[in-house]
Structures are given as structure tokens and as C-alpha cells.
Amino acid sequence: MTSHDTTTPPTTAPRSTTPLTATTWPIAAATLAFGGPARDGGEVHDAPAAEWGRVLRAVARAGFDHVDLTDAWLRPGDLAPSRRPELLDVAAEHGVALASISAIRRSVIHASDGEENLAYSHRTIDAAAGLGIGTVSVGLHQALTPAQQRELWFWTVTGHEDDPAHWDLAVERLRELGRHAADVGVVLSLEMYEDTFLGTAASSVRLVEEIGLPEVGLNPDIGNLVRLHRPIEDWREAFELTLPWTNFWHVKNYSRDEDVARDAYTAVPALMETGLINYRWAVQRAVELGFQGVICTEHYGGDGLSVSASNRDYLRRVLPEEGDVELGVSRVLQPRLTTPTHDRAGVAS
């Protein structure tokens, strides 16, 4: 077994030179649907690797060769470094590459837990480097409120809202994380989410510009915004603004209806193909604007993994093929990508 030394981060040099195509694009399954305690009731990161294998087996059976480690399932930042080879082995055993890490609801400007979340985010970046993962996504959304937890869909009532007074702290702490990420060859992506500093396209761009590091970009999870039961930003304009800064991408879709005269709004989780957002258009614009990062297929409600798999198949049909569009120049650095492999040769060695 290869030794994984986190103090020797993977080099950032050999980033992709050939533009990604519909065939080669890394499309990862989110694992947020697998949240909850381990079978023995303990923490998943303390569970035997075989327990991780059960989830990775389902991911592989659904046809994925890349996975996003969503920390609602497994927290790499809390995994003992000595167990990283176990995780890489069980992933390789199922033919699934570890594409990215998504840390959820760990705002670094949380009133009481901000510093702890900052420390956790640092550990997560180290874990990414140690696992050969090139992308870490964080956000500013906070724990669901009790009122949100009582709803069928938490986004139908308003939750936490960022206080403008904390803007500078957000810039400072996210920049600190970005510098760490840069040091270890990882890019940091900021997930868009309503009512935070990343809640609109304009605010998101302003934040990432103010942070001012090539290793810090956006995760334009516009699906988070189009499901709200209130007037929303135009999704197409939101992509136009944010795609130039995109280095990672949570994708999902909703069927949305509005009846403004009746003050009625409805949105239900939908296949990417059938929902409001035209992802055929969006992926083409993304390439034109330089995006070459991991796409992570998410879905809330129902059978998230199966919908994610259908969404992956859809993306393979509509992502540009070679020569379809000209790859643009991104405003931010694009990540190193993990190659799916059944052995670990070359990964984080």
C-alpha cells in the first residue's frame, strides 16, 4: 500500500490541457442522500471501510465513476489521516474516483461556531490534498431553523440570513482558506445559497472578486435559488455573471410555477432535462467562459442517487463535443482532476 503523506501535497502543475468533452468530463454523484449515522450508530468516518463501500457500491451500480464526498455523509476533515489509504482503496475497489469534497452548512462566519467551522474547513482542505482531491466546496449557509425543519421542503420558509456587518470577516476567512488551498494544490469553491453573501449572482461575484485569489471561485448552484417560494433572479442572467468565476458546479433542477397575481409559487425537484433551467445552454456557456471543473449531480427529495444518475446521462448527451464550442478563459484557476482508476497509481503519490 502506498503511503499518503499529507505534508507532500500533490503538485498543481499538470492541469488539464485538452478541453474536456461530453465523454471525458468528470461527473460526480453527490452523497448527501446517504447522510445519517453509521450502522452501529456511530460516526461514519469512524466506521469500517466496508460501510463506506456499501455507499460507493450503490454509487457505482448507478453508473458513476466519480463521487463527491458530501460531508453530510462522510467528513474527510474529521477522518484520521491514517485511514485515507483505506478510503482510497475502497473507492478504487468500486472503480469510483474521489472528485471533490462538499462541506455543507459550515459557515466560517457563524455567530458561535465560525471559528470551529473555519478550523474544520482547514482540515477539510488538508484532507482533500491528502486524498488527491483537487476541489473543495464551502458555503455560508447555516443549520436549518426549527421552522425550516417542520416543512416538507425547508426552502419554503426563510432561514438564516447573513448580516452585512460580517462581510469583511467572510472575505478575510475565506481568503485565508483560499491561501491554504493554493498552498496544497486545491481550489476552493463557494456555493451559492439564498440569503447569504452568496445568495445572488452579483453578491457572489463581488465576494470572490474581493477575496481576489485565483484559487477561489464559485459553485453556481442556481438550483438552490429557483426553488424559492418568492420572486427570483433570472437564472440565465445569474449564470452569465457567475460562470466566468466557476471552478466547481452543483447541478440540479426544479419544475417551477408562479402565479404572481395570486401570490402563488411552487417548485418541485425535477430531472435536469425537464426542469426550469436549460442546462444544455448553461453547459455550453460554461465552456465558452472557461469552466473545466468537476460537475456534481445533486438532487433533494425522493431517490437522489437515481435522479443524479439520470442527470449524469443527460449531461453526457448535451455537454459540448470536441469542436462544438471554443473553450474560453476563466477568471479563476481550474482544478486538477482525479482520474477514475481501479488502482491508485499516480493519485496523490
The one among 125, 267, 295, 337 contacting a second copy by CB under 8 A:
267
205 binds a second copy (CB under 8 A): no
Please give the residues from 147 up to 166 whose contact with a second copy meets the rule CB under 8 A: 151-153, 156-157
The one among 2, 8, 149, 266 contacting a second copy by CB under 8 A:
266
Question: What residue spans of the chain are helical by DSSP H?
Answer: 49-61, 84-93, 114-131, 146-150, 167-183, 201-211, 223-226, 235-242, 279-288, 304-318
Residue the block writes with cell 486545491: 186
Cβ atoms < 10 Å from Cβ of 23: 9
296-44-335 Cα angle (round to 5): 30
236 binds a second copy (CB under 8 A): no
Phi, psi of 90 (to 5 degrees): -70, -30
Using the minimum distance from each CB to a second copy, give the nearer residue, 60 or 208.
60
280 binds a second copy (CB under 8 A): yes
**Rounded Cα gap, residues 35 and 44, in angstroms:** 9
Binding-site string for a second copy from residue 164 to residue 183, where x marks contact by CB under 8 A and - marks none? --------------------
The one among 118, 177, 277, 319 contacting a second copy by CB under 8 A:
277
Nine cell digits for residue 22: 461530453
Task: Report the candidate in 102, 58, 60, 37 with the shortest Cα–Cα distance to residue 249.
Answer: 102
The one among 1, 146, 263, 326 contacting a second copy by CB under 8 A:
263
**Rounded Cα gap, residues 343 and 2, in angstroms:** 11
User: Least distance in Å: CB of 256 to a second copy?
Assistant: 7
119 binds a second copy (CB under 8 A): no
The one among 2, 8, 306, 339 contacting a second copy by CB under 8 A:
306
Q: Which residues contribute to the site for a second copy (CB under 8 A)?
A: 33, 57, 61-62, 151-153, 156-157, 229, 253, 255-281, 301-307, 310, 314, 317-318, 321, 324
